[in-house]
A and B are shown apart, each in its own frame.
Chain A
Amino acid sequence: MIRLRAVFSKKDRAKYISHLDLNRCMLRTFRRSGLPIWYTEGFHSHPYFSFALALSLGYESDCEILDFNLNEEVPPNEVRDRLNAVMPDGMKIISVAEQKLKITAITNAEYSFSLITDSPELLMNNIKSLINQEQILIEKKTKKGIKTVDIKPDMKIISFEVSEKSVDMVMRLPAGTQTNYNPSLFFEALKKSSEMPFETAKIRRTGIFCENNEIFS
C-alpha cells in the first residue's frame, strides 16, 4: 500500500459541492482516472480517502488536503495529471506527495474574504473597534450544546484593506483536531457589534498551517 497526500483547490462552481458529496465525488474521480485504488480488507471493502479539514459549503480553497492510498507505486506527478484529466470543473490537484506530517499536526488555517458594504470606511472602523475589544465573545454550537467562547486570543488578523465596495481581510483561525473556528464566527461577532449590514463574499481557505506557522504538508 502506498500512502499519498494531495493538495487540491476547490473553486468556482465546485464550492457548492458539500463535504459529504466530496467524498463520493473523489471516489468517482479516482475511478475515472484508472489509478490503482487501494481497498480496505474486510467485509465492507472500501477505498480509503481522508480529508484533513472539512470546508464549509460555499467556501473556496487553494489548499485542501486529501490523504489516499494506492495499491502500487505511481509517480506523484503522474497521479496528479491523471486525476486532473478527469476532475470536475473548479477542482484541481496542485500537488501529490508522500504524507510528511500527521493530520494532528495541523493547528490553524488561513482565510481570505471580502465584506461587501456601501460604506467600507465605516465598516473598517467597526472592525477595528471590534478587534480592540478585550474579548470577542460568540456563541458556538458544539456537540454538547451552545457554548460561549472568546475567539479573540486565537484570531490572528494578517491583513485588512478598504476597497471601493468592500473591506478585504485575511485572517488565521484555529483548525485541526483540537479547536476549529470558522470565519463565520467572526462575521457573527461583527454583525452583532456593528449593527451595520454587510455581505460576505469570496471566502477562501488560503493555507493550512502547523505550529510555528509551518505550512502543513
Chain B
Amino acid sequence: MLREKIEKHLLDIQKPSRYIGGEVGSVIKDKSKVDVRFAFCFPDTYDIGMSHLGMKILYSLMNERENYWCERCFAPSEDFENIMRENEIPLYALESLDPIKDFDFIGFTMQYELSYTNVLNMLDLAGIPIFARDRTEELTQIVVAGGPCVCNPEPLADFFDLFILGEGEEVNLELMDLYHEMKKQGASRKEFLRKACNIEGIYVPEFYKFHYKDDGTIERLEVTDNAPETVKKRIIKNFDKVYYPENFVVPFTEIVHDRVSVEVLRGCLRGCRFCQAGFIYRPFREKHADTIVGQTKCLCENTGYDEVSLASLSTSDHSEIDPMLTKLLTYTAGERINLSLPSLRVDNFSEELLEKIKKIRKSGLTFAPEGGTQRLRDVINKNVSEEEIMNTCRIAFEGGYSSVKLYFMMGLPTETDEDITGIAELAQRIIDLFYTMENRPKGRGVQISVSCATFVPKPFTPFQFEPQDTREMIEHKQKLLLDSVNKKRVKVSYHDADVSILEAVLAKGDRRLCDVVYTAWKKGCKFDSWGEHYRFDKWLEAFEECGVAPSFYANRRISYDEILPWGHLDYYVSHEFFVRENKTAHEAVTTPHCRLKCSGCGVNKEIGGRCFD
C-alpha cells in the first residue's frame, strides 16, 4: 500500500534510489515470523547515514537473529519530505517499506550535536509522539539512542525512552531479548523500562530528576524507580573476536564513504585533551592483522567494492601496522582494490611506511598539529614536536608531494595571539623547508592548506571544564590568522563560529535544553550541520523564548566540584583523572601515551587489569 504511494512520487525527486530500498545486501525477512522489529534511524540523509560504520555492524548483528529484523531509515531530503507531508506518507523503513511507528524499537544513532533537530523531525514525520511522556503505555514504539553524543544525552532526554551507552554489539541484543520476553508477558512500557535500566549500559532518563540551584548549576540528582545511581557504558572485552559483518548493504547512488570499511582498532592511546573520542572509546583494543585481512577479503568479495578503508582513531598506532599493511597491500593490489588509510599520525610515520603508502595514495598528505606553537601543543597534549612535523614534511616532499594540508584548532584553552601567528609561522617554515630542499618536486610550488576548526569543549575530556571563546574572540583570531599568513602559498579555511557555539551548548547542555531543541525545530530548524540549512537566528530566538542563555553552557568555566549533567554516567575514565589532566594542561605539561606509561585514567580498574600486555 505505502509502496504504491511512495513510487507515485519517486520520479519527482532527487536520487530516488535512496527511498525505495532493494540494494544488494539489504536483509528482507518474513514479518509474520519476526518477533521484534528494530528501525535503525540515522538522523541525516541516506548519503551520509549509509556511510556510517556503526549502523552496518549493528544492522548485520541484529539480523543474524532469525526472529529479529533490523531495517534502515534515514532523514528524507527536503524535496521528498515535502511530498511525504503533502501525501501523508509516514516515515518508513527501507527494507519492508512499513511505517516505523509500528516498530518495536526506533533506534537513533547520535553522531553529532547538530543532528538533534533531525531526530525530532523524523519522529514527527513518522507520526510518533516527540516527547517520551506522550507515548503509549503499551509496550511498543520504544525510542532509543546510542552513539558518541549520548555520553551527555541530557539535551535529548525528554525525547527518548532510553539511551544505550557505549558499544552496542552485546547490549542491543540483551535489550531486544528483554523486550521480547516482556512483550510475551504483556508487560507495559513502564514495566519494561524499570527492568531495562538494570541492564548495564542502559540509561532511562525519566528515572533521573535534576534539581537546580539559583545560579543555574545543578544542585542534586534524584533517582527514582530503583534505577542505578550511576550508569556504566558497555565495552566489548575481546575486540579481536567481536562480531563483524560479512556483508554491507551496497547502495546504488553514490554515498559519502562508498567503500568497504574495516575497523582495525577501537579506542585511542594518545590522550589529546580536547578529543572526546580519545576518552569515551577507551580502552585501546586492536584486531590481529590476520583478522583485519580476513574481514577485508570477505567484505570485498561479498560487496564487490573495489575500495577499502581502514577505520580507527589512529591507524598507525596499531602494533602490527607493518605486517598488516604488507598483507593487505598484497591482497588489494592483486585484486585491483584501492586501500585508503585515514587517521595516520605525524610522529610514527616511517620511511618504509611512507613508501608503502605512496604506492596507493594519490591525494596530498594531511596532518593535524592542532596548535601553532609547541607550548600550545603541550597544553592540549598533542605530542607532536615541530621537528617531527618538519621531518614528516621532508619525507613527503622527497616522496614527490608538494602540497600539505594542516589541521588546527582555534580557541583552545590558554591560547594567545602568539599561538595564532604561530600557525602562520609554522606554515612559513614548511614553505622554507620546501625551497631549501634540492630534491624537491620540480615544476611546482609548494601549497599549504590550513584548515582551522573552532575548539568545542566536550564532556568526558580534560577540557570539559573549559569555556569556549566568545564569537568576538574567535572572529578576532580568524582575522589575525588571515593577516599573518603568506597568502601566495597558504590557503586558510575555517569553520563558522556560530556552528561551533551551538555545538558547545548542545554538547555540554543539561535537560533544560530539551525545550530549546524542540522550540528551534518548531521554528523550522533541521539539517543544522548543512551550511545552507543552518539558521542560527532561529536558534537564538529559541534560547530567548525558553529563557536559556547559551553562554551559560558555552562560555562559563565549570568548577571541578560542580555536579555535571553527565556526572551520573560512567565512561570508565575517572573524574579525578580529568581534573588532574586539566591542571596539567594549564601547566603546559604533557602526559605520555598509554603504551609508554599508564596515566591512571581509571579504565584499567574497570577492565580488571592492564590495558596493555
> Which A residues are within 8 Å of any B CB, using their own CB?
12-14, 16-18, 21, 24-25, 27-32, 34, 39, 45, 57-58, 86, 88-90
Contact = CB atoms under 8 A, between A and B. Distances in A.
A192 to B, nearest CB: 20
Interface stretch (B21-29, B289-297, B405-413, B511-519): B21-29
A87 B22 CA distance: 11
Most chain-A CB neighbours within 10 Å: which of B20, B24, B301, B303? B24
A57 B11 contact: yes
Given A34-B301, A57-B16, A58-B16, 19 more contacts: A13-B21, A16-B20, A17-B17, A17-B252, A18-B15, A18-B252, A27-B304, A27-B306, A28-B24, A28-B250, A28-B303, A28-B304, A31-B306, A32-B24, A32-B302, A32-B303, A32-B304, A88-B23, A88-B24
Nearest to A89: B22
B597 interface: no
Nearest to A13: B22
Interface size class on chain B is 20 to 34
Pick the 8 closest A-B CB pairs, nearest first.
A28-B304, A13-B22, A31-B304, A32-B304, A58-B11, A16-B17, A89-B22, A16-B16
Per DSSP, chain B at the interface is: loop
B77 to A, nearest CB: 15
26 contacts: A16-B20, A17-B252, A18-B17, A18-B252, A21-B252, A21-B254, A24-B252, A24-B254, A27-B304, A28-B24, A28-B304, A28-B305, A28-B306, A29-B24, A30-B304, A31-B300, A31-B304, A32-B303, A45-B336, A57-B11, A57-B16, A86-B304, A88-B22, A88-B252, A89-B22, A89-B24
Interface in B270-327: 300-306
Contacts of A32: 24, 301-304
Most chain-B CB neighbours within 10 Å: which of A13, A25, A27, A30? A13
Contacts of B301: 32, 34
Nearest to A31: B304
A25 B10 CA distance: 20
B107 to A, nearest CB: 25
Interface string B7-20: 00011000111001
A88 B25 CA distance: 9
A29 B23 CA distance: 12
B215 to A, nearest CB: 56
B576 to A, nearest CB: 51
Contacts of B10: 16, 58
B580 to A, nearest CB: 51
Given A29-B304, A32-B303, A32-B304, A18 B11 contact: no
Contacts of B252: 16-18, 21, 24-25, 88
B536 to A, nearest CB: 35
A24 B252 CA distance: 8
